[in-house]
Every structure is written in structure tokens, then in C-alpha cells.
Structure 1
Amino acid sequence: MSIPSDSSTAAVPPRPPSVALLVAMVATVSFSMNAFVPSIPGLVRHFDTTAAMAQLALTLFLLGVGIGQPVIGPLSDKFGRRPVLLIGLSVATAGSVLCLLAPSIEVLVLGRLVQAVGACTGMVVGRAMVGDVFGREKAASVLGYLTAGLAVVTTIGPAIGGVLDVHFGWRAVFVLMLVFFVGLLGWTAAAAPETNFRRIASISPRAILGNYHELLGNRRFIAYTLVVTFTSGAFFAFVGGVPHLMVDVMGRSADEYGFWFILISITFMSGNVLTGRLTQRLGLDRMLRIGVAVNFPAGLVMLAFALFGVLHPLALFLPMALIALGNGLCQPNATAGAVATNPRLAGSAAGLLGMVQMLSAAVTTFLIGTLEANTSLPLAILMAATLALGFLAAWLGAAPRR
């Protein structure tokens, strides 16, 4: 199945990427992260290390994703999407092998960093391809459907990762990742078209900095980027903090966490489907504001549970389900808005947005990992704060000038 082209977009490629391939491309980071998360408590026991050290395997993964994207974006603007994607997936494959064979937690953390730099190529290039092919409102609609498909992959990740960890050990999770990246590399080599026909002239450091300066001078780009950053920050804080609360504090199993996570993925997918159906009718900015009007109050509900000392999976996962619904409504629209601010720099915009998003995620997961709290209050405070900032960015920064 191929996505129909938007006739209003310049330089539309004769053969757009298939929906399934784009979903797999943008799923590289999410799958690599979420399938691994249920194994974090087990790594502490296996390597006889601290929870903070095991958490670095997640934090440095996010850091690698953040650092890699602003480099990958300009490279794909200069040399094309397809060759950069093939090289990146090869790096992710090598990182998966290193993790699988890791004899120590330090080598595992290094392997996760290598894996991250390669995996983020799929996310950057996938977003840039959508920007190459579609106009602003249509791109938001397409990203909504793509992210709905991504939610299915995200659902499978924690559930399968938890089952593999419980029954076969943490290395089985990296066998799964290795199969995923090898399969995607072969699929990309066989079926991914080139979509970038407006190449930039130079990728010298001066030119790259000039392009980023141009993007950062755009108020709307900054606002859209902040919406994605803060709303996803709440999700990453949840992913970084809840496994400890579920497994170590409440005594639940890793696979139970994975199955509870299905609820989050279902509501996130629902929000993205609504984005796909409604954005072209209601407009990108209106959908953006509806999304933050859903997730911010849900964050306050989670904070209220924490303040009253309620520690139960329902007190964590039900508010997070509403947060995920709001994220599904606002994030594809914010992403499309950011990438469309300058079509010539679609790859650079996707990379810069992703860098800010992931570096923020690395900070939040590091903070949650070092706290190792036995209550949900620090997590709830952090999530409510990030959602409040996302709400302000959507209603103030992203509002059209009159």
C-alpha cells in the first residue's frame, strides 16, 4: 500500500514510501526503547550493579538519539534520505550485536549508545520523507496515521520484552532487536525510494549552524518543538520511573508492566487516529490545542493520586492513558508544523526537533533514575510540570499572530 501524493507539494517523488515501511522507520527508537525497559530491574541483579547504572542504558540511549539527530538531518538534506537511512540502520544493527554479547553493564551501556545513534536515523528520515511528500495539514494527518501504526509496535514492544525477559532472560530482548534491525535494513534496501529532490548546497559546520539559526529564528518552529518536547517528556518520565515502582516497590512482575502498558498504547493510537481523521478538517493548530487540553488535566489527576498516597497500577496507568490520548492529538500536529516551517530544511528541522526532544527525555529519565523514590510523588510532580509547559507552549507560542 502506498500513500497517495499531495498534488500541492513540489517535487513529489514518483513512488512514495509505503505506509508499512514508514511505520517501521519511525518505530526504530520507540521499539528499541520500550522493548528494553522491562529488563532494567533484572540488569541490576544480573550484573550486580546499581539501579542508577542500569538506568544509564536507557538514559544514554536517549542521549545518543538526541545527539545523532541534528547530524543525521543535515546529512539527509545534502546526500538524500535513502543512503543515510541505510548507513544508520547498519549502525543500529552493529549496536544490537554489541548489546547482545555484552559481558558487563558498561559494555551494554556503550552498545545502547551505538544502537541509539543508528536507530534515530529511521525516525529523522521518516519524518523528513513525510515532509518531502506532503503539505503542512496533510503531513499532520499522515503522521497521525503513521503514529497510530507506531502505537501498535509500541504496544508489542513492552509486552514481548517483558515476556522474553521473564522466560528467557534479557539477552533474548536484544535478539529480538537484532532481528528487527536486520529485517528493516533489508526491507529498506529493497523498497525505500529517494524523496529528497531539493538538496542543500553545503553541510559545512558554518552552513549547518546557519540553517539551525534560521530555524530557531522562527517563533512557530520553537513553539511546535517545545510542545513535542514537553508532552513527550511526561511520557519518558513515566517510562523511566514506573518500572521501579511496579517491580521494586509494588512487587509486580516485568511482564505485568508490559501488559499494563498496552492500555497506554491503545489510547495513544486512538489519539493519532483522530488526528489522521480530523486535522485536515479542524486545522493543525486547533488539534494541537485540543491535545494539550486533554493531557495537562490528566497530569494533575496523577499528581492528586500521588499527593494522597495512592500507589496502585490504576493510579498510574489510568491518568497516563489520558495523557497518551492527548499526546496522540497534539504531537503529530506539532511535528508536522515544525517540519513544514521551512520545506528546504525538512531534514534539519526534524533532526533539531528530535535532538531537543530526546535530550530533554534523557534529563527526565536520569532524574527519575537517581531519585529511586518509593512513592509516585516525584514522578507525578515532574510529569505535571512538563505537561504544564507543553500547555503554555501550545496556547501561547503556537497561536497564530493576529
Structure 2
Amino acid sequence: MKPPASPSLAFALLILGTTLGIAGTDLVLPAVPDLPATPGGSAAMAQLVLAAFVAGGCVGLILFGELGARIDQRGLLVSSLVAYALVSLGCALAPSLPSLIGLRFLHGLSGAAAAVFAPGMIRTMFDARGAVRALGLMGSVESLTPALAPVAGVWLLAFGWNSSFYVIAVLSLLVAGLIHLRRASLPAPPPTRGKGSYVRLLSNPVFLRYALSQACTLGGLLIFVFGAPAMMTKALGGSLDDFILMQVTGIAFFIVGSNIAGRLVDRFGPERMILFGSALSALGLVALLAYGLSGGSAPVMIAALFVPVNLGLGFRGPPGFFRAVLASGGDDARGAALVILFILGTTAIGTAIAAPYVTLGLAPLAAIAAAVSCLSVALLLAMQPPRT
């Protein structure tokens, strides 16, 4: 296959597309508390604005994974971004909260394409070493979105609750136009059609080894992050500044880990780094559990113990995702869709289990997150890696 004319430009466009999909939650997040008073509705209904987006995203992952195996992914990516922009505009003009919730389901669905297509395109654009490094850089940029987008969302509130939707609409159309104009710079992975299926991937032990372990490592981290604000403010008597300290520190070390993962893989091999990163992340959560059981509650100590959780994910994330896509046997779109779906499902189930216990202290939340993360290590050890 002929390589794309400009891998750097193509890679930048893919980052922009995936970041916009993430921003659909984080940029809108600050507006949620004001929604009951503005479009009309209850506080509980306002939370469904977030839930509907996630639910739509899950459906979108499966849909675009299937479409991407049959149709030119470049055209699908442009079409999905245009649809994402139009639905964003519809959200901004929604006359009521129930209508906004319905539109947010379509919002999440239409915004899922870039996350599905990007890993396979990156695998086509670069060799194995370059793909791991590219995925690490993409993960670094994406990790900044949950930290920076809410800050921008707060600023946009000065222009109205719907201003973030207008911004997403404009940016999505801009990125769609750039991708359309520079279509030749993006690779066109060959369609798999009847050569692959979700059933085949779900019965592939090598793919499941990488996909499920990836989901458990990232899921364990996210379960802890999602429960940390309530745990720190209600159970430990702290403030959101304590959570921000933990998040900023963790993200910084994740960026470091993900950007040196490629060099470490070159030296030690992908299997060792995937197992080491998974174990390091799990040990960090076990350490947080031990600290909580001992009665510890210092925010600085929690932030310090959270460092290996993020660093471990940084080490294993890029090679782990790459190996999962590689194990899909050319069925990249469906493979990437399932990996992300596993991550969302693991996080959602773990967060639901942890929800009743987040106000009881550090130990219960850390115990649930650690159990999920340790499962990643168990899967890697129990399921043999492929022979290379």
C-alpha cells in the first residue's frame, strides 16, 4: 500500500478529530448544573445529558466499526464530523431538556468515528515503532482534554449554556473540511467485508488478551478518578483543589510515560512493557488501598501514590493498544471499536459498583479500582502471548 503523502499532517488531523469527540463531554460538563434552569427540567434529567452522549458513543463505536470494515474510512470520517457538527448545532438550539437528551445520544453516536478509525490508520501510516510512538503522542494530547476542556467550558458559560455546542459545531466543520481537502494524506485501509466480524474477534484469544487487559488497566484508573472528587470532598473533608492536584500530577506522568514508551519498547520489547506497565499501575492502586486502610488521607500523599497508576498506563497504553489492533488481523476498525467499548464498559460497571462507597473513604474506592486493575495483570499472565 502506498504511504500517505504527509504522515505528520494526517496524524494531526486524526488527533483533532478524536479530541473533538472527547470534548463533547468535557467542554459541555460545566454547563450541566445550569441546564435545569435554562432549557427546563430537573437536576437528575440534566445528568442524562452526559449519560445519553456516552450511550450514543457506545452505539457509534459498534456502528462505525462495522461501516469502517466495508466503506472507505476517509469518507466516513468526513461525513461523521459533518453530522457531529450539525447535531451540535441542534443541541445548541434545543427547545427543551428532553429534546437535548435525545440529540445528545445522536451527538455521541456521530462523534465516535475518529476514535474507531484513528488506530488502524496510524498502523497503516507508520511502522511498528512509529505507530507506538504516535499512539503515545495521541494519548498525551487526549489526556489533556479532560483537564483543559472544562476550563474552556467555564469561560464559554459567559456566552450562554449552549455556547460550547456552537464551538464544537464550528470546529467539527473546520476539521471535516481540512480532512476533505487533504484526503490524500490519509491512508485508506482496505475493507475487510466478509473477512472479519465482531464474533470472530470475540473468539480470538490473542485479541482478547490485549483488549481486555487494556480495558482493565485504564478502567481501574478511571474508576478511581471518577470517584475521587466525592471521596476527597465528602469523605476526607478536602476540596476540589486536592482532586485537581492529583489529576494534574497524574496526567503529567502519564504524558511522560506514554511518550517514552516507544523507546522502552525498542529496548525491552512490547510484552515486557505491557506487563510491567500493567503491574505498575495495579501496584499504585494497591498502595492507595493500603494507605487508605492505614487511615491516611493527606492529599499530597494520594497524589504521589497516584503517580505510578498513571505512569504504568503510559508505559503499557500505546504498545497495548497497538498490539490489540494488530491482533485483529487487519480488521482494524472493528478491533479498535471493541477495545474502546471494553474500556467504556469496564469503567461504567466499576463506577456503578463504587458509587455507594465513594463517601466512605479512600479504601473502598481504591479497593474496587485495584481489583479491576489487578485483573489486567491476571489476564496477561493467564492468557499466553502470541509466538513471535
> Is TM > 0.5 for Structure 1 vs Structure 2?
yes
> CA RMSD, aligned part only?
3.3
One-letter identity of the residue aligned with 2:336: A
Matched, 1:393 2:379: yes
Partner of 2:75: 83
Contact 1:130 1:139 in 2 (8 A): yes
Partner of 1:325: 311
d(CA) in 2 for partners of 1:388, 1:114: 35
Contact 2:290 2:363 in 1 (8 A): no
Partner of 1:70: 62
The structure 1 residue matched to 2:42, chosen from 37, 41, 49, is 49
- Greater relative contact order (Cα 8 A, min sep 6): structure 1 or 2? 1
Contact 2:281 2:373 in 1 (8 A): yes
The structure 2 residue matched to 1:241, chosen from 203, 214, 227, is 227
Contact 2:84 2:110 in 1 (8 A): yes
Total equivalences in the alignment:
384
d(CA) in 2 for partners of 1:102, 1:372: 34
Partner of 2:53: 61
Of 379-388 and 184-193, more deviation after overlay is shown by 184-193
Partner of 1:180: 171
Matched, 1:119 2:111: yes
Partner of 2:265: 279
Partner of 1:3: none
Q: CA deviation at 1:270?
A: 1.0
Partner of 1:214: 200
| Structure 1 residues 310-337: Cα deviation after superposition (integer angstroms, max 9, x where no partner) | 4564455443333122111112111100
Percent same amino acid among aligned pairs?
A: 25
Q: CA deviation at 1:72?
A: 0.6
TM-score by length of 1: 0.81
Contact 1:23 1:147 in 2 (8 A): no
> Given the superposition, is the C-alpha separation of residues 376 and 169 from structure 1 closer, same or farther in structure 2, using an over 3 Å criterion?
farther
Q: CA deviation at 1:339?
A: 0.9
Partner of 1:303: 289
d(CA) in 1 for partners of 2:84, 2:354: 26
| Structure 1 residues 211-258: Cα deviation after superposition (integer angstroms, max 9, x where no partner) | 2233233221101101221122123323432344456665746x8856
d(CA) in 2 for partners of 1:44, 1:385: 37
| Structure 1 residues 118-165: Cα deviation after superposition (integer angstroms, max 9, x where no partner) | 221111111120122334444223211222233344442244335555
Which runs of 5 or more residues in structure 1 are unaligned? 1-9
> Given the superposition, is the C-alpha separation of residues 174 and 14 from structure 1 closer, same or farther in structure 2, using an over 3 Å criterion?
closer
Q: CA deviation at 1:354?
A: 1.9
Partner of 1:190: 181
TM-score by length of 2: 0.84
| Structure 1 residues 288-314: Cα deviation after superposition (integer angstroms, max 9, x where no partner) | 112112111111122234334545644
The structure 1 residue matched to 2:342, chosen from 342, 345, 356, is 356
One-letter identity of the residue aligned with 1:70: I
SS of the residue 2:359 aligns to: coil
Contact 1:159 1:261 in 2 (8 A): no
> Given the superposition, is the C-alpha separation of residues 57 and 130 from structure 1 closer, same or farther in structure 2, using an over 3 Å criterion?
same
d(CA) in 1 for partners of 2:30, 2:243: 7
Partner of 2:138: 146
Q: CA deviation at 1:88?
A: 1.4
Contact 2:245 2:303 in 1 (8 A): no
d(CA) in 2 for partners of 1:60, 1:146: 26
One-letter identity of the residue aligned with 1:264: G
One-letter identity of the residue aligned with 1:268: F
| Structure 1 residues 355-401: Cα deviation after superposition (integer angstroms, max 9, x where no partner) | 22223333334445566735444432221111111122233325345
Of 295-304 and 261-270, more deviation after overlay is shown by 261-270
Which runs of 5 or more residues in structure 2 are unaligned? none
